[in-house]
Amino acid sequence: MDSFWQHLHNLTSAQSVINLGFYVLLVVVFAETGLFFGFFLPGDYLLFMAGLFCSTGKFDVSIYTLVFSLIAAGVLGNYTGYWFGKRTGPAIFNKDNSFFFKKHHLVIAEDFYAKYGAMALVLGRFFPIIRTFAPIFAGVVKVDPKKFALYNVIGCIAWVSTFTLGGFFLGRKYPQTKEYIHYIVLGLIIVTTVPLIFAFLKRKLHKSENVKELK
């Protein structure tokens, strides 16, 4: 348990984020929102902490520059994922699992897309893994480019604004928030990950039931 909290502390320390720098933060957001190997990157709480540190002056950029730059990085990331999915097509489902690519992540995104349609590009921004693979799957099924562009922009604005401005205004109103960042991050991880775990378990249960019926 001590090692877990130490790891969480390393991930959430102010110095770690400061050391990353503004431009590296943009690269992280770009990678997590469109490159299939970016699924493990910590987008949600980095956005929150970026807003929090911006409110206290630890990030040497204005909140306007921060928000608009993060939105641009997220939109471009999704376009990259869409292009990749469109180029590879259904063949990506035949790709072997590797350290950076897990086929079941794409399957989770497929199920999410089947449930919510193009709105998955908006809602999926708020869930790890789906945030990375939803635009790729949209490219695989060749979603209309105009529709993709619309949902891409709306989803990115909603995602960046929620976490970054949330951190910014919370830091402005309650400067002591930074002392409890570990608990806030843990809460974000639980809120965004638990629904995916339930969805994965539900799919596994449904699959096993179908196998039993076939027998």
Res. 82: pLDDT tops 60? yes
User: Once rounded to an integer, what is the mean pLDDT over residues 153-162?
Assistant: 94
50 pLDDT above the threshold of 70: yes
What number of residues does the chain have?
215
As for how many domains the chain has, the answer is 1
Average pLDDT over residues 187-201: 62
Sequence-distant (6+) residues with CB within 8 A of 120 are 109, 112, 113, 130, 134, 138
More confident position, 127 or 75? 75
Rg (CA), the chain: 18
More confident residue, 190 or 31: 31
Provide the token pair at 62.
């204005």
pLDDT recorded at residue 211: 42
**Dihedral-angle region of residue 142 (phi above 0 means left; psi in -120 to 50 means alpha; beta otherwise):** left
Q: What is the residue range of 179's domain?
A: 2-214
Q: What is the pLDDT of residue 46?
A: 81
What gap in Å lies between CA 186 and CA 162, rounded to an integer? 17
Q: Distance between CA atoms of 106 and 94, rounded to whole angstroms?
A: 11
Q: List the end-to-end C-alpha distance of the chain, in Å, as a whole number.
A: 44
Q: Could you tell me the pTM of the whole model?
A: 0.74
pLDDT range class, residue 20, cuts 50, 70, 90: low
Q: What distance in Å separates the CA atoms of residue 139 and residue 83, rounded to the nearest whole number?
A: 6
From CA 6, how far away is CA 12, in angstroms rounded? 10
* Phi-psi domain of 135 (left: phi exceeds 0; alpha: psi -120 through 50; beta: other): alpha
**99-151 pLDDT tens trace:** 556 676 777 777 877 778 778 888 888 887 788 888 888 888 888 899 999 99
Query: Are residues 30 and 69 in contact, defined by beta-carbon separation less than 8 angstroms?
Result: no
In this predicted model, which residue has the larger pLDDT, 153 or 191?
Answer: 153
Q: How far apart are CA 204 and CA 198, in angstroms?
A: 10
